[in-house]
Structure 1
Amino acid sequence: MTVLEINQLKKTIGGRELLRIAHLQVQEGQRIGLVGKNGEGKTTLLRILNGEEKPEEGMVSVQGTTALLPQLKRTDTVKSGGEITAEYVTKAMEAQSKLLLADEPTTNLDTSHVEWVEKELKRFNGALVVVSHDRQLLDAVCDTIWELESGNITVYTGNYSQYIEQKQRERQHQQTEYEKYKYKERQLTNALEQKKQKAVKATKAPKKVSPSEARITGAKPYFAKKQKKLNQGAKAIQTRLEKLEEVEKPKDHAPVKMDLPNERAFKDKIILRVEGLEGKIGDKRLWKPATFFVKGGDKIGIIGPNGSGKTTLLKRILEADEAGVYRSPAMKIGYFAQNLSVLNPEKTILENVSQDSHQSETLIRTVLARLHFYQEDVHKPVSVLSGGERVKVSLAKLFVSDSNTLVLDEPTNYLDVYALEALEDLLREYEGTVLFVSHDRRFVSAIATRILSLEEGELTLFDGDYEAFQTRDQKKERDTTEDRLLMVETAIADVLSRLSLNPTEELDKEFQRLLKEKQALQSN
């Protein structure tokens, strides 16, 4: 059953055609992830589907009721972001709408609240259209992806990871078609050049004709027809070359190799020592005294619930005279804290990012291109950019700054999924140190080589990536199970030896009990 249908929808904002959708349907129970770059119109589309905005043209037909989880939650409250989101989600669930529209429902939530929202969306029985930069949520919840680009929507079957696989196949196909196009272009160009050269040679007198005869008759009696034929052939090739349908080359990711200050002095050396550092705000203790160290080149993901003290920890590390924090003189820090005041809105993207950078313009342009600011885009003034685009410019500015250690406080907020993946690629290639706070599970998994965890008042550095951190309790449980299994097998061997010498009912019962325990342990 169709719960929503779009026909010939058109929406224009400020003279710009934002949406033009010929036909689209949402089926009962369908789970759709709506993805697209910042500023493409995802929120506007949700508002149109919910009846809050009207398109200039077209129709949106809805069978049943809709509910919207808005991106911007109310602020006239002392409740936390997680509590407010939970309230919205619960209200939407209770309404039992046929269609739920969710606009970035996990923004500013910690991991536990994100997982709760994910669970509730999976539990929802109606159709769902969700905008989210949380790729793990899109994988867990969605069976369809709508890609919004240049006003049009392309439909992909599957979750986000399957969508990415399909996009990669499309890119590979485009690369193959581009290579075929370039081969054909070279082939026709070479053939054209050969025809032209032969036509030129056809104007020369043949060797067997005397000069006097050539002056009287020219080369025409002998070569005129051949020259004409060659020129016709060249013209035909030229026409084929002009009509050859051009195939655009897929954009390649140029590698980024930066000159980092003090590189020899910090690489793989301890650049930060924290000894007995306690987290307190007034009388409130955030964490007990903690000790850990950071090496040059480490990529440390700082995780924990909202209010646990992650930002406080970053600020303590950044303070020059903080007791218990010892920084190497080789350490040069660049800090990102969602503070976009570092940008001059009257200057261009390139001017902002280049300011105070010692990197070459070629590298700066490469970094900007990796964050999807191509060619003439870099000359746009910052004042015309969306919030997400300004975040990308701020990150680019930090990335090419004169630093070898990046400290990032929630860098993924307000970035679309494409920008997120581009930032991941840049940070993976970055040879300096990175300390970052994030609730984006896939981002942490992609970047972190070590995990700094703030849980229940304990600040602990885990020497391993996020996947190993998540399974650490399971490993402890496995180790405990293996130890217990070894003890049971030893006890069975002892009981068997005693049974062989002096069988009793008590020993037989003990043997049977140990066998059952062994089977239970092996089945876990």
Structure 2
Amino acid sequence: MVLINLQGIRVEVKDRTLFHIKDLSIHQGDRIGMVGRNGSGKTSLLQVIAKEREPTAGVVIQRASVALLPQLKPQVDQKSGGEISQAVIHETFSQDADVLLADEPTTHLDMENVEKLEQQLKRRQEAMVVVSHDRAFLDALCNQIWELDDEQIRVYSGNYTEYEQQKEAARKHHEKEYEKYIHKKKQLEEAMEQKDQKAQRAVKKPKNLSGSEAKAAKFAKPYFAKKQKKLNQGVKSIQTRIDQLDKVEKIKELPPIKMQVAHEASLNKRTIIRGEKVSGTVGDRLLWQAFDFSVAGGDKVALIGPNGSGKTTFLHMILGGAQGIHISPTVSFGYFSQMLEVLDVNDSILDNVSSTSSQDPTLIRTVLARLGFFRDDVFKEVHVLSGGERVKVAFAKLFVSDANVLILDEPTNYLDIEAVEELGSLLHDYSGTVMLVSHDRRLLEHVATKVFAIRDQQVHFFEGPYREYTQAEPQKDHDPLEDQLLMVDTKVSDVLSRLSLEPSEKLEEEFQRLLQEKNMLKQRLEKRQ
């Protein structure tokens, strides 16, 4: 059953076409993941589907109710980004629409809440279109991928991994077609060169001829001229065949990155950051109990834990050399945060990135190309860039700086999937040290060589890749009652915050009802344990 149909849709921004869609539908049971570069129009398309934005041309036929979960959540005093995201998610879910549109729903959620959101969405019955840079999230939810690229949408069946496999198969097919094209072209060019050489020899006067031979050659000249003409026609015919070949362009592959990291040899595998009896507190609140730790040169450390557990606090303590933390004098930190204060908005991309780097200019341009800034793109001033593009510039500036320890706090927010994948590849190949906070599980699997996990006011260590850590962790059985309790708990927090701003008898009654429901669910869980 068709729930939404897009006919002849075109969306323009100023004088640029974002995308045009001839005919596209959302059916009952569709679970669509939408991917594409920053600025390709993913958010605009969701707004068009929800009828919150008028297309430049075309019509949206809605045969079902629609709810839109926006990417940019409203700021609320005294609430963290994760708390705001959960409140907006709950409010959107409560609409019980037939089609759910979710724009980066995992932003600001910790890994535990991302996984809980996955389970909630799996159980929901409505059709959905999800924009996300979290590849594991798309794998868990989607049965179809929409790729927004080059002003068009291409539809792929399956989840994100299956989409990657189809793209890889297409790439390999393209490579084979290119090889066939080059082979055939070379064959024709060689045949053309041979005919051309024969044509040149056909009328070339032989040397050291006797009188009788010269006289015979004179009478044979018209014959050879005719032969040359025929050979030249053959050359032209082959050239025509070359010109008529279906040209196949070679896939552009950027060269690998090999950077010079300061003091790389002297720091490698040696302890460069050491902590003794380091405890974390915010005011009177204990984040984690005192613990010892060490980081060696070349380590790629994943720092994970729930929202509010103290991950960012821990990074700041390392950057500030807090009490009990000892740092090698050869360490030079590079810190990434979403504030992007490292950028001068009036300078170009290239000037921003080069200003703090002693790397070779060619390497800098290669890093920028890997992140999607090609040729003259690098001369754009930062103030004209989108939020996601600015994040990429800030990361590039940090990556090619003279730092040898990168401290990254949620670097993937607002990035497109392609940029996240390139960021993962760059960090994987980086020979310096990385400490990384991220809820992107695929990124952590690709990069992390050890794990610091903050939970229950303690920091736990795992010496090994992130994937091995997740396999070593005991897996909890899925419990619908716990999910129900989580949802009610979120409702309680939401009503409580509204009560503090606008008290009313109706809200008070709802608060008391939710408290009773919460207590009943807790009792049912306790009885089963």
Is the shorter-chain TM-score for this pair beyond 0.5, marking a shared fold?
yes
Deviation at 1:474, TM superposition (A): 2.9
- Structure 2 length as normaliser, TM-score? 0.86
Give the structure 2 partner of residue 309 of structure 1: 310
Report if the CA contact (8 A) 2:68-2:102 is conserved. yes
141-150 or 215-224: bigger deviation: 215-224
Report if the CA contact (8 A) 1:290-1:460 is conserved. no
Q: Hey, what's the Cα distance between the residues in 1 that align with 2:93 and 2:263?
A: 55
Uncovered stretches (5+) of structure 1, i.e. residues with no partner: 477-524
Uncovered stretches (5+) of structure 2, i.e. residues with no partner: 477-529
Give the structure 2 partner of residue 248 of structure 1: 249
Deviation at 1:210, TM superposition (A): 4.6
Which residue type is aligned with residue 307 of structure 1?
G
Deviation at 1:374, TM superposition (A): 2.2
Give the structure 1 partner of residue 301 of structure 2: 300
1:163 and 2:202 aligned: no
206-215 or 41-50: bigger deviation: 206-215
Q: Could you say what secondary structure the match of 1:204 adopts?
A: coil
Give the structure 2 partner of residue 103 of structure 1: 103
Report if the CA contact (8 A) 1:205-1:219 is conserved. no
1:75 and 2:75 aligned: yes
Larger radius of gyration between Structure 1 and Structure 2: 1
Q: Hey, what's the Cα distance between the residues in 2 that align with 1:212 and 1:218?
A: 10
Q: Hey, what's the Cα distance between the residues in 1 that align with 2:189 and 2:36?
A: 39
Give the structure 1 partner of residue 405 of structure 2: 405
Deviation at 1:107, TM superposition (A): 0.5
1:442 and 2:442 aligned: yes
Taking the TM superposition and a 5 Å limit, the aligned residue runs for 1:67-466 are 67-205=67-205, 210=211, 213=214, 217=218, 220-320=221-321, 322-466=322-466
Report if the CA contact (8 A) 1:203-1:219 is conserved. no
Which residue type is aligned with residue 146 of structure 2?
W
RMSD: 2.1
Report if the CA contact (8 A) 1:205-1:218 is conserved. no
Cα pair distance change 1:101/1:381, threshold 3 Å: same
Q: Hey, what's the Cα distance between the residues in 1 that align with 2:217 and 2:290?
A: 107
Q: Hey, what's the Cα distance between the residues in 2 that align with 1:475 and 1:124?
A: 23
Deviation at 1:366, TM superposition (A): 1.8
Q: Hey, what's the Cα distance between the residues in 2 that align with 1:227 and 1:220?
A: 10
Report if the CA contact (8 A) 1:146-1:154 is conserved. yes
Q: Hey, what's the Cα distance between the residues in 2 that align with 1:318 and 1:218?
A: 94
Which residue type is aligned with residue 443 of structure 1?
L
Q: Hey, what's the Cα distance between the residues in 2 that align with 1:384 and 1:248?
A: 32
Deviation at 1:155, TM superposition (A): 0.4
Which residue type is aligned with residue 420 of structure 2?
L
Which residue type is aligned with residue 446 of structure 1?
H
Map Cα deviations across residues 426-460 of structure 1 (whole Å, 9 max, x no partner): 11111111111111122112211111111121122
Taking the TM superposition and a 5 Å limit, the aligned residue runs for 1:444-523 are 444-474=444-474
Which residue type is aligned with residue 193 of structure 2?
E
Report if the CA contact (8 A) 2:75-2:84 is conserved. no
Report if the CA contact (8 A) 1:12-1:18 is conserved. yes
Cα pair distance change 1:261/1:79, threshold 3 Å: closer
Q: Could you say what secondary structure the match of 1:55 adopts?
A: coil
Q: Hey, what's the Cα distance between the residues in 2 that align with 1:148 and 1:283?
A: 49
Q: Hey, what's the Cα distance between the residues in 1 that align with 2:83 and 2:334?
A: 33
Q: Hey, what's the Cα distance between the residues in 2 that align with 1:219 and 1:280?
A: 103
Give the structure 1 partner of residue 34 of structure 2: 34
Q: Could you say what secondary structure the match of 2:94 adopts?
A: helix
Which residue type is aligned with residue 273 of structure 1?
R
Cα pair distance change 1:96/1:475, threshold 3 Å: closer
Q: Could you say what secondary structure the match of 1:471 adopts?
A: helix
Map Cα deviations across residues 184-213 of structure 1 (whole Å, 9 max, x no partner): 222222222222222221221357785995
Deviation at 1:164, TM superposition (A): 0.5
Give the structure 1 partner of residue 499 of structure 2: none
Q: Hey, what's the Cα distance between the residues in 1 that align with 2:351 and 2:169?
A: 37
Q: Could you say what secondary structure the match of 1:342 adopts?
A: coil
Map Cα deviations across residues 205-263 of structure 1 (whole Å, 9 max, x no partner): 35778599569947632301110011111111122222222212112242111111112
Q: Hey, what's the Cα distance between the residues in 1 that align with 2:223 and 2:162?
A: 67
Q: Hey, what's the Cα distance between the residues in 1 that align with 2:81 and 2:338?
A: 17
Report if the CA contact (8 A) 2:8-2:59 is conserved. yes
Give the structure 1 partner of residue 492 of structure 2: none
Which residue type is aligned with residue 155 of structure 1?
V
254-263 or 181-190: bigger deviation: 181-190
Q: Hey, what's the Cα distance between the residues in 2 that align with 1:95 and 1:390?
A: 34
Cα pair distance change 1:124/1:214, threshold 3 Å: farther
Q: Hey, what's the Cα distance between the residues in 2 that align with 1:337 and 1:191?
A: 60
Report if the CA contact (8 A) 2:340-2:394 is conserved. yes
Map Cα deviations across residues 351-393 of structure 1 (whole Å, 9 max, x no partner): 2222231211221122122212223322322222211111111
Q: Hey, what's the Cα distance between the residues in 2 that align with 1:258 and 1:147?
A: 33
Identity %: 49
Which residue type is aligned with residue 305 of structure 1?
P
7-16 or 34-43: bigger deviation: 7-16
Q: Hey, what's the Cα distance between the residues in 2 that align with 1:219 and 1:338?
A: 84
Map Cα deviations across residues 286-331 of structure 1 (whole Å, 9 max, x no partner): 21111110111110000111111111111111114x3211111222
Q: Hey, what's the Cα distance between the residues in 2 that align with 1:377 and 1:54?
A: 30
Cα pair distance change 1:96/1:283, threshold 3 Å: closer
Which residue type is aligned with residue 234 of structure 2?
G
Map Cα deviations across residues 454-476 of structure 1 (whole Å, 9 max, x no partner): 11211222212223322334399
Number of matched pairs: 476
Cα pair distance change 1:203/1:137, threshold 3 Å: same
